[in-house]
Amino acid sequence: MIKIFADSTCDLSAEIVEKYDIGIAPLTINIDGKTYRDKIDITADEFYGIIEQLAKAPTTAMPAPTEFYSIIEEAYKKGQREFLCIAMSSGTSGSYQSAEIAKTMFLEEHPDDKDIKIHIVDSKGMSHGSGWLIMKSAMLRERGMGFEELVDFNEAFKKHVKHLLSVDDLDHLIKSGRLTNASAFIGKLLKIKPIMSMRDGKGAIVAKERGRKRVLNHYITEFKKRNNALLTDFIIIGYTSDINFAVNLKNKMIEEVGYKGDIYIMQMGVAVGTHVGLGGLSMYFMEKDRSRDGLLVNEMSNLNNKKNEVMARISELNGQFKDQFNEQMNKQKNK
């Protein structure tokens, strides 16, 4: 059986990790001078309960190569010889490089075992984005897909996992270098919520919406436009501190989109939450093609939509005016 493993930023629930026997190498988080292992020494709820009281922004560190090595070694002793690691994007973390080091170490220590196969995937994603790939890979493994086929699937489709992430607290984006102080001030004043996605393996702001209702509507619109119905047999909705926000999105996906697949709601862990903050909401699915996505593209699209709405309204009013004019003319003729 193929051993699938990852770093803890995949943010998969304990139930999914246990169901598919997924190995997890934890990141570490430094909070006020004390080091914690993600999801082991501190839970997400514990972290979000204290995040506003912290005097200094927490920092995160990638798993050591020995964490990945231990996962491979334990599975190897059980007779497994094929290992697939799906790591957080190398553009946002050193987890991928750490896993590659562990791979090299293990192969060097077992030079005579030619049956060993280890592949490390740079997912180009983060949080449940890499988590989506991991879950899909585990499902395909259960259906009989072989090691090389899983490698090919991940490398071919990893950039097609669509990430949508919005935040309530802009301060954490500033601290992580994703937003300027001026943008944050204006955003707070106007209650603007930036929406982020992945671009070239790094997070990028691709849209701005005012208020939670518009954020939800943006997610629905993007899903309808981009979804690959053949591959998206499940969706992951992520949240940091407000599960009701996630439930609202799930309900809209069922009621307004009519989505029939499984929808998993999972909490973002401490390592990811350090950068996202309170009120974060995300959604992940497989997009049919990599359509252009960016702040300017979305702003232009919104502008064109507004123009079309205005033109439609003008046409409607012109029609009403014409009808009223004709009605008045007919009354004049009948007098």
Q: What is the pLDDT of residues 68-104, one digit of tens each?
A: 999 999 999 999 999 999 999 988 888 999 999 999 9
Question: In the predicted model, is pLDDT for residue 126 greater than 80?
Answer: yes
183 pLDDT more than 70? no
Is the pLDDT assigned to residue 52 strictly greater than 50?
yes
pLDDT above 90: percentage of residues in the chain? 64
3-class state of residue 170 by DSSP: coil
| 133 and 214 housed in the same domain | no
For the chain, first and last CA: distance in Å? 91
Q: How many structural domains comprise the chain? A: 2
- In this structure, the answer to whether residues 283 and 186 fall within a common structural domain is yes
Confidence bin at 204 (pLDDT 50/70/90): confident
Q: Is residue 285 located within the same domain as residue 183?
A: yes
CA–CA dist 121, 84 (Å, integer):
8
Weakest mean pLDDT among 127-136, 253-262, 302-311: 302-311
Residue 319 within a domain: no
Could you tell me if residue 229 is left (phi over 0), alpha (psi between -120 and 50 degrees) or otherwise beta? alpha
Whether 317 is covered by a domain: the verdict is no
Q: What is the pTM of this model?
A: 0.82
Provide the phi-psi class of 297: left if phi over 0, else alpha when psi is between -120 and 50, else beta.
alpha
165 in the same domain as 132? no
The answer on 34 and 143 residing in a single domain is yes
Residues 44 and 147 in one domain: yes
- The yes-or-no verdict on residue 116 having pLDDT over 70 is yes
Are residues 216 and 186 part of one domain? yes
Residue 311 falls within a domain, yes or no? no
* 325 occurs within a structural domain: no
Could you tell me which residue, 202 or 146, shows the higher pLDDT? Answer: 146
Helix residue spans in the chain (DSSP H): 14-19, 44-50, 65-77, 95-109, 128-142, 147-157, 171-175, 181-190, 212-226, 243-252, 270-276, 295-334
What residue numbers bound the domain in which 289 lies? 161-295
The answer to whether residue 276 sits within a structural domain is yes
Residue 57: its pLDDT value, please? 85
Residue bearing the bigger pLDDT, 179 or 305: 305
Same domain, yes or no, for 153 and 168?
Answer: no
Q: What is the mean pLDDT of the chain?
A: 86
Whether 137 and 174 map to the same domain: the answer is no
